[in-house]
Amino acid sequence: MQHLDEGTIHAWLDGALPPLEAEQVAKHAAECSTCAAAVADARGVIAGSARIVSALDDIPAGVIPGGGRATAPVVGTSLWRRLRFTPGRAALAATILLAVSATLTLRSPDSSSVIQKDKAVDVAPSKPLPKSTPTPTSAPVPVRVTLDSVKLPGPSVRVVNAAAPRKLEEVTNAPQAQVAERGRAADAVTPRDSTRDLQKVRATAQAATAGASSVAAVPPAVSTMTANANAPRALGVRDSVTTFEGCYRLSADSSAGLPEMPRGLPTRFTLSRPSTELRAAPQRFAEARADSVGFPIAWQQLSATQANVTFGSRSARPVSLTLTAGSSVGVASSGDRTSTVRVIRSPCPP
Amino acid sequence: MTDLDRLFREYHQPLVRYLTRRLGDRDWAEEVAQETFLRAVRQGVIVSERSWLFAVATNLIRDEARRDARRRKHLELLQQQARAEEAVEPEPLTIERAQETAMARRAIEMLTERDREALLMKEEGLDYNEIAAALELSVASVGTTLARARRRLVEAYESLQESAAHKEGRGSHAAS
């Protein structure tokens, strides 16, 4: 038998040879020292290449905004993660939910009635409210919505062009005002006939009720900020809502002639999604950490493309930092002073 | 359970991982995977599901790569910018890992398209018949393709490591 060629050795090691041929190869490798060395070498190459390929799973974060976590593992991602649920999306869904509720309220022929507290309301757009259903007049009455009955176009639902997979139109690539407008017309919209999309919609709507309270309650330091709905979308980000969760590093914006960082800002900080516990605390929107003690921070997603982070300080005024999708420059403001700072999204430490 | 449910449960995870490794962009990978599953639904009966899905996904990213070269170039620039910024304030462990990933990506990009795809499919557990079907190769040539791909990948990676070490050595020499 001739010496084994490299392809045959790899096929043998991969278990891809028929039994008879595999037996012959094994026998030859046992007898021929040259081929035995080639087999050992091939084993090393296979192991080495596998290790290199697995290194590809760590995707370093680019600049703001990353579409997800810096090193998001593919394995074991939860449904929530797969749906890329973010507080911003929750806010959008909440907006739509409220808009639909308002529409149904205004469309009701009997506007003098008042909905009973804690009465579950089916807001399915295709199912008009019965005439006898009482509706609120002017005062905002707490309403509990049965989520399973909600049929809404979810904020993350995409329309896919079969011929050009990368040219995806995003249903919600619009300012929140337009989304709200769409929400008002939601009774004309029917959900797509897809199990996953339906799950997405339901999941997002469920999340909205949880996230709505935290999104609506804005701390004083943040409430003055104005969302820029027309901010440019970041290249490479196809989500309608940018995910700002992640780790960041700040440095002086030397290109703008600012040799030093604005006072009151840490050199690095982390933003993560709102947690159940924090939701109960009105002044904190999310778990957020900075590198130094003395930087209590809170953050909120202002719009699809902007987030605001407020850094507290014992000795000075709070500093507000606005992050914009697609920009590596953040705007820091404290009192009437405004300056820019370089913002880099960096991989989170393990 | 519908066909889409079953296909999704069975193949979504490996397909997205394959695409993420191939593209270096998780979001993009998920979009391509989504499109692949939609096409599978439209296709109806599929004989060899795994090789069909991987073949369609591979073709989608090939087409897209041609159309979208400019965007990728820009992304690379942004990533380089981010890496340069990181170098100002080093974080040893994180940077080391990021460099390893970047080097792995550069090494895999140095392979030919066919070698790269065969290797990534093999790493996702596709057998020789499935790889052959997905890439329109003969089964007999898959072993050779994989052997070449693996060896070139390892060599490319080692070469990148050496040049990085060389650069570091030169840098520290210049600094002293």
Of the candidates A10, A238, A251, the beta carbon closest to that of B143 is on A10
pLDDT of residue A1: 65
Rounded CA gap, B176 and B168, in Å? 12
Inform me whether the C-beta atom of residue B2 falls under 8 Å from chain A C-beta atoms: yes
> Which residue, chain included where needed, has tokens 């970047």?
B102
CATH node for B92-176: 1.10.10.10
* B80–A contact, CB cutoff 8 A: no
> Which of B16, B94, B153 is closest, CB to CB, to A347?
B94
Whether the bond between A65 and the residue before it is cis, its omega within 30 degrees of 0, is yes
Kindly list the domain boundaries of chain A, sorted by start residue.
Answer: 6-55, 79-215, 222-346
Q: Identify the pLDDT of residue A262.
A: 77
CA distance A329 to A251: 10
Q: Is B9 on the interface with A (CB under 8 A)?
A: no
Each residue of A27-75: pLDDT tens digit? 999 999 999 999 999 998 999 899 899 888 865 443 333 333 333 334 3
A117 touches B: beta carbon within 8 Å: no
pLDDT in tens, B103-146: 899 999 999 999 999 999 999 999 999 999 999 999 999 999 99
pLDDT top residue among B32 and A154: B32
Q: Residue B60 and residue A237: Cβ atoms within 8 Å? A: no
Q: Mean of the pLDDT values across residues A12-16?
A: 93
- Is the four-CA dihedral A61, A62, A63, A67 of positive or negative sign? negative
Residue A151 has pLDDT above 50, yes or no: no
Contact B78 A168 (CB under 8 A): no
Is the model's pLDDT at B59 over the cut of 60?
Answer: yes
Task: List where CATH 1.10.10.10 sits in chain B.
Answer: 92-176
Put simply, whether B17 touches A (Cβ < 8 Å) is yes
Contact A55 B101 (CB under 8 A): yes
Residues 101-130 of B with CB under 8 A from A: 101-105, 107-108, 119-120, 122-123, 127-128
How far B172 CA lies from chain A's nearest CA (Å)?
A: 25
Q: Please give the Cα distance from A252 to A258 (Å, whole number).
A: 6
- The whole-number pLDDT of residue A227 equals 32
Cβ-Cβ contacts under 8 Å between A and B: the total is 182
Rounded CA separation A186/A46 (Å): 55
Q: What is the ipTM of this complex?
A: 0.75
